[in-house]
């Protein structure tokens, strides 16, 4: 799964996870995309029972706390949509 957006989508982090495990995450220095990729990978692995890889790259210059909160909410909705699409929610 790729979650990207904002002014400049990119690869900021990758997380891989197996059901019941903790995500293994790598992040580009000074990027906080790992917050989204880690959570998404753990959730997808738990619901699907399958190993999964999530790539995230979201960038908004000078993002406010409100912007960040909305990005986190929208990222959760992306995962919901994916799981609904594969009929797991």
Task: Name the band, by pLDDT with cuts 50, 70 and 90, for residue 56.
Answer: very high
pTM across the whole model? 0.88
Q: Is the CB of residue 1 less than 8 Å from the CB of residue 36? A: no
| pLDDT score, position 87 | 74
State the pairing for strand pair 52-59/13-17.
antiparallel
pLDDT band at 89 (very low <50, low <70, confident <90, very high): low
Distance of CA 85 to the CA centre of its chain: 17
Q: What is the pLDDT of residue 88?
A: 67
pLDDT of residue 45: 95
Neighbours of 10 (CB within 10 A): 14
Asked if 64 contacts 38 with a C-beta cutoff of 8 angstroms, the reply is: no
* Domain residue ranges of the chain, discontinuous segments joined by +: 2-85
Give 8's pLDDT tier (boundaries 50, 70, 90): confident
Beta bridge partners of 2: 55
E strand or H helix that includes residue 58: strand 52-59
């Amino acid at each position: 799964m790729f979650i990207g957006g904002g002014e400049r989508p990119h690869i900021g982090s990758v997380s891989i996870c197996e059901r019941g495990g903790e995500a293994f995450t790598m992040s580009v220095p000074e990027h906080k995309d790992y917050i989204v990729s880690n959570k998404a990978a753990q959730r997808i692995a738990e619901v699907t029972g399958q190993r999964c890889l999530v790539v995230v790259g979201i960038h908004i210059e000078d993002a406010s706390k409100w912007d960040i909160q909305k990005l986190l909410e929208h990222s959760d909705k992306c995962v919901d949509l994916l799981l609904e699409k594969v009929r797991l929610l």
